[in-house]
Amino acid sequence: MTSSARSRPRSRDDARMKPVIALLGPPGSGKGTQAERLRDGLGFTWLSTGDLLREARADGTELGARAGEYMDRGELVPDDVITDVVEQALAELGDRPILLDGFPRTVAQAEALGRELDVVVLIDVPDDVVVERIAGRGQGRKDDNPDTVRERLRVYHRETEPLVDHYEGRGLLRVDGTGDPDTVLEALLDGLGHRRS
């Protein structure tokens, strides 16, 4: 067990002392599902970059419009746009404990983050499982068709694998994300030192 994993939060009070957990993983890995459960169980404020970007886009902001151009092509939104959106959200949260979903996505974003990450979790899911999951969601979004999903995965691996390597030597917690949500949650809580009653 790494020192990073050993220093994980163990209660809502401890969560206030260990304020930042980052969830990494490809699109369709279930980060959002697990973030929701960890938020409810540990009292963290959940920040999803995907949600933040979609909200900015729906609100018609300049950042949202810039992000939308990349999202429609299945490309990752550039670091400067992502960082601006996240920094705006962080500024509103002050020192509350935070669960970051989808940020940082690159080493540049990790280095630009002004807060220390106490635990970095990678929810690991093979590409073929991701394509099957997203294509089967039936939400009708432009970025959910199989060809676009494969492009998103290609870009994800190119851009994000250096980040995984960056955190591998800093106590990255890997969790198998191929199971059902309850199984993944059990593995995640086990890695974080929690047990469900």
Tens digit of each residue's pLDDT (9 = 90 or more) over 136-148: 775 656 667 788 8
Q: How far apart are CA 56 and CA 66, in angstroms?
A: 10
Please identify which of the residues 8, 31, 57, 133 carries the catalytic annotation: 31
% of the chain exceeding 70 in pLDDT: 83
pTM of the model: 0.71
- Is 137 one of the annotated active-site residues of the chain? yes
> What pLDDT sits at residue 4?
30
31 is catalytic: yes
Please state, in angstroms and rounded to a whole number, the distance separating the CA atoms of residues 127 and 26: 8
pLDDT band at 105 (very low <50, low <70, confident <90, very high): confident
pLDDT at 138: 59
Q: Which of 8, 57, 66, 105 is catalytic?
A: 105
Q: What distance in Å separates the CA atoms of residue 85 and residue 11, rounded to the nearest whole number?
A: 29
The DSSP line for 68-92 is: HHHHHTTPPPPHHHHHHHHHHHHHH
Q: What is the DSSP letter of 191?
A: H
**Residue 83: which residues within 8 A CB-CB, separation 6 or more?**
109, 112
- Give the CATH fold of the 3-188 domain: Rossmann fold (3.40.50)
